[in-house]
């Protein structure tokens, strides 16, 4: 494979996995709240236990990012339903989004701004 071809592949990979691609699969906190209230999605909180215990979105499923690969079976019933991953700001939820998509989940979004954006919008936590 030539050097030019390798750089083209790298460029395509970066475009597909970079911020531009992630932004297309992101939802705002308000969008996530609306989707959840209409029973059109589940929210998966990938923060650590101590973060979850400080406050979380009612009805969210808690699976810390480090446990996601071993707990995929818990999300199997939602494989063909919209799933929104959520963390503190969006870094871990973007990783979770990629992991779920790679595992064959069909419609996965990451919540832009995470729980910080949720709280800033005045949305309920427990």
Tens-digit pLDDT profile for residues 49-94: 999 999 999 999 999 999 999 999 999 999 999 999 999 988 899 9
Q: Using one digit for the tens of pLDDT, what is the confidence trace for 5-57? A: 444 343 444 444 444 344 458 999 999 999 999 988 999 999 999 999 999 99
Q: What is the CATH code of the structural domain delimited by 26-120?
A: 3.40.250.10
Q: Please give the pLDDT value at position 90.
A: 85
Q: Please give the pLDDT value at position 15.
A: 41
Q: Please give the pLDDT value at position 16.
A: 44
Residue 3, C-beta contacts closer than 8 angstroms, at least 6 positions apart: none
DSSP string, 26-55: EE-HHHHHHHHHTTS-EEEE-S-HHHHHH-
Token reading at 91: 């870094």
Report the alpha-carbon distance of residue 126 to residue 110 in Å, rounded.
20
């Amino acid at each position: 494979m030539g050097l030019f071809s390798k750089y083209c592949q790298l460029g395509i990979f970066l475009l597909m996995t970079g911020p531009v691609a992630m932004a297309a699969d992101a939802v705002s906190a308000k969008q996530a709240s609306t989707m959840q209230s209409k029973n059109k999605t589940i929210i998966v909180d990938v923060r650590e236990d101590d973060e979850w215990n400080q406050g979380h979105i009612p009805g969210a499923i808690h699976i810390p990012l480090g446990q996601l690969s071993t707990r995929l079976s818990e999300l199997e019933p939602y494989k063909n339903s919209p799933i929104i991953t959520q963390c503190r700001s969006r870094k871990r939820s973007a990783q979770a989004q990629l992991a779920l998509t790679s595992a064959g989940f069909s419609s996965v979004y990451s919540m832009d701004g995470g729980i910080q954006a949720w709280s800033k919008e005045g949305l309920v936590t427990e």
